[in-house]
């Protein structure tokens, strides 16, 4: 079996042991060290580590001081955390459609979705490629919207040379399967020192100094044990990302020209970090997407469907007063056709050959 993802944190052992032996195991100096390294790697001035990517998003929305009824416009083609964070922060979610070329928010659709209650634009940099920030940033400025980037899958990705998470408030996930992991964890990034300060207070029960509370806060702290798991990965992130890029290039070469199979595009001016390598299985393919997935699994090729439905298309959101569902024909189609293949840094050249040969077999090409 070639797995869709491999978690390799074995080289964190010395640092983790150092934390265990120090007796300082909750948030302490290792978290600070992780934050400094993350800010450097991500190309942002301030990084605030938290306990997961979802709370990173909640905190990023909370510091914007929204009023009841204020709306966040985001994509319906995302992991459920994007939506849950908006709701947890007390805001209302509204959706725009995506573009089939990058799977991310379509700026034209965003322009149509904005109302006079819209206060935040939340693009998701899905699969490791940024949204079209060249159009979304001016759009946000024009409508006076704050920009919160769900960069959970996009550590190190750039648009016009500028890193994901540096355009607005950036929110990263460090979940086990993400490109950088601390098992569970998250990071909020910003260029605004005052905002970073507020986020640090919010993360720690709203506490500035011992028993000096400034806001109703949370316990969103990361632990030094978790930070120790992540630090060695930041040191070698460029190498790991290069391996993902090489794998993606080899897959796209090997899978070119198969009827009914669209390989993922890297758009001009964007550096993709390949959290996922996602193909579209169209009507012209020999089998449909679900059958394709089943046959790959049967033949030992790990694969994943991210995501099988639009994020609001579940009963628990159907009558939710703060979820404003809307038609998203492109996202709906993509959710029927998308399938991710292994692209992680542990793949060998032999693995890539096996994936290519098996996909060709299954699709009769
Ligand atoms: C992983 C992920 C999150 C949430 O991160 P957690 O660390 O699991 O809480 C949010 N948005 C997207 C797009 C993600 O992939």
Pocket test for ligand 1, best of 53, 151, 172 (most atoms within 8 A of CB): 53
* Model pTM score: 0.98
DSSP letter string, 98-135: B-TTTSSB-HHHHHHH--TTEEEEE-B-GGG----HHH
221 CB-near residues (< 8 Å, 6+ apart) = 26, 27, 31, 50, 51, 203, 204
Distance of CA 185 from the midpoint of ligand 1 (Å)? 10
pLDDT of residue 253: 98
Active-site position among 119, 178, 236, 309: 178
Where are the CATH 3.90.1150.10 domain residues in the chain? 238-362
1 CB-near residues (< 8 Å, 6+ apart) = 300, 301, 302
Distance of CA 276 from the midpoint of ligand 1 (Å)? 13
pLDDT of residue 365: 87
Question: Which atom of ligand 1 is the closest one to the Cα of 153?
Answer: 15
Distance of CA 357 from the midpoint of ligand 1 (Å)? 32
Question: Which atom of ligand 1 is the closest one to the Cα of 78?
Answer: 13
Where are the CATH 3.40.640.10 domain residues in the chain? 10-235
Residue whose Cα lies nearest atom 13 of ligand 1: it is 79
pLDDT of residue 82: 98
Question: Which atom of ligand 1 is the closest one to the Cα of 54?
Answer: 9
Fold observed for domain 10-235: 3.40.640
Pocket test for ligand 1, best of 51, 55, 74, 79 (most atoms within 8 A of CB): 79
Burial pattern 37-75, b for ≥16 Cβ within 10 A else e, equals bbbebbbbebbbbbbbbbbbbbbbbbbbebeeebbbbbb
Tokens at residue 240, please?
């790991």
Is there a catalytic annotation at residue 333? no
In tens digits, the chain (365 residues) has pLDDT values of 999 999 999 999 999 999 999 999 999 999 999 999 999 998 999 999 999 999 999 999 999 999 999 999 999 999 999 999 999 999 999 999 999 999 999 999 999 999 999 999 999 999 999 999 999 999 999 999 999 999 999 999 999 999 999 999 999 999 999 999 999 999 999 999 999 999 999 999 999 999 999 999 999 999 999 999 999 999 999 999 999 999 999 999 999 999 999 999 999 999 999 999 999 999 999 999 999 999 999 999 999 999 999 999 999 999 999 999 999 999 999 999 999 999 999 999 999 999 999 999 999 98
Distance of CA 60 from the midpoint of ligand 1 (Å)? 14
Burial label for 286, CB within 10 Å (0-12, 13-18, 19+), is middle
Q: Which residues contact ligand 1 via a Cβ below 6 A?
A: 52-54, 78-79, 81-82, 124, 150, 152-153, 173, 175, 186
Judged by phi (left if over 0) then psi (alpha if -120 to 50, else beta), residue 236 lies in alpha
Residue whose Cα lies nearest atom 2 of ligand 1: it is 152
Question: Which atom of ligand 1 is the closest one to the Cα of 186?
Answer: 7
Residue whose Cα lies nearest atom 7 of ligand 1: it is 53
Residue whose Cα lies nearest atom 6 of ligand 1: it is 53
Distance of CA 53 from the midpoint of ligand 1 (Å)? 5
Distance of CA 50 from the midpoint of ligand 1 (Å)? 13
Measure the CA–CA gap between 119 and 62, rounded to whole angstroms.
Answer: 12
Fold observed for domain 238-362: 3.90.1150
The 10 Å Cβ neighbour count of residue 266 is: 15
């Amino acid at each position: 079996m070639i797995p869709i993802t491999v978690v390799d944190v074995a080289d964190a052992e010395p640092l983790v042991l150092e934390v265990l032996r120090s007796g300082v195991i909750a948030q302490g100096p290792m978290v600070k060290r992780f934050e400094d390294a993350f800010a450097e790697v991500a190309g942002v001035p301030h990084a605030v580590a938290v306990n997961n990517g979802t709370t990173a998003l909640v905190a990023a929305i909370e510091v914007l001081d929204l009023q009841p009824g204020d709306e966040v416009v985001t994509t319906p083609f995302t992991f459920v955390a994007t939506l849950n964070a908006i709701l947890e922060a007390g805001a209302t979610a509204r959706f725009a459609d995506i573009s089939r070329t990058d799977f991310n928010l379509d700026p034209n659709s965003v322009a149509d979705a904005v109302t006079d209650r819209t206060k935040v634009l939340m693009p998701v940099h899905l699969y490791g490629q940024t949204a079209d920030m060249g159009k979304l940033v001016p759009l946000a400025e024009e409508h006076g919207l704050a920009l919160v980037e769900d960069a959970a899958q996009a550590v190190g990705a750039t648009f016009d040379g500028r890193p994901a998470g540096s355009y607005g408030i950036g929110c990263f996930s460090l979940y086990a399967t993400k490109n950088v992991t601390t098992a569970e964890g998250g990071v909020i990034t910003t260029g605004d020192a005052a905002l970073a300060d507020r986020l640090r207070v919010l993360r720690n029960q709203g506490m500035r100094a011992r028993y000096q509370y400034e806001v109703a806060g949370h316990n969103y702290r990361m632990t030094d044990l978790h930070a120790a798991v992540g630090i060695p990965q930041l040191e070698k992130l460029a190498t790991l990302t290069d391996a993902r890029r090489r794998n993606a290039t080899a897959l796209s070469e090997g899978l070119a020209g198969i009827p009914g199979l669209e390989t993922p595009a890297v758009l001009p001016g964007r550096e993709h970090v390949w959290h996922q390598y996602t193909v579209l299985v169209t009507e012209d393919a020999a089998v449909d997407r679900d059958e394709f997935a089943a046959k790959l699994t049967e033949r030992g090729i790990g694969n994943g469907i991210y995501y099988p439905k639009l994020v609001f298309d579940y009963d628990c959101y159907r009558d939710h007063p703060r979820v404003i569902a809307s038609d998203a024909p492109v996202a709906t189609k993509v959710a029927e056709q998308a399938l991710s293949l292994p692209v992680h840094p542990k793949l060998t050249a032999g693995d890539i050959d096996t994936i290519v040969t098996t996909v060709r077999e299954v699709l009769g090409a």
